[in-house]
Amino acid sequence: MNSSTVLTVWDDQKLVGLTRVLDDTEMLAQIHYVLVDPAYQGKGIAGKMIIEYVKEKYKDFMYIDGMPEDKDNVPFYQKYGFSVMENGAAIQICNYDNAY
């Protein structure tokens, strides 16, 4: 899968929000991150715009997955209609030792 959507939100010349979505062109879209400048968080602007855009763009896909790396971010996604996957679990391999 490739980055199918890279979306930015700007306040004049200042970048305040960013997301990256990967999709398989038909069934699954995965939101890999939603980044919002801390000064703009909780105002219902940048993050909301990003999620609403993604939901509209991928409304005909079977799944839109959010991939929050921090469980404290789950309520943000739930606010926009996402639910925690029953019996789901995030998994990863971390290769930091191999990066240098």
Q: What is the pLDDT of residues 86-95, one digit of tens each?
A: 888 777 788 8
Measured on CA atoms in the order 93, 89, 79, 71, is the torsion positive or negative?
negative
Predicted TM-score (pTM) of the model is: 0.83
Q: What is the pLDDT of residues 1-42, one digit of tens each?
A: 556 899 999 999 999 999 999 999 999 999 999 999 999 999
Architecture of domain 2-86: 3-Layer(aba) Sandwich (3.40)
At residue 99 the predicted structure's pLDDT band, cuts being 50, 70 and 90, is low
Distance CA 99, CA 88 (A): 29
Q: What is the pLDDT of residues 32-46, one digit of tens each?
A: 999 999 999 999 889
**Domain locations in the chain as residue ranges:** 2-86
∠ at Cα 24 (23, 29), nearest 5°? 35
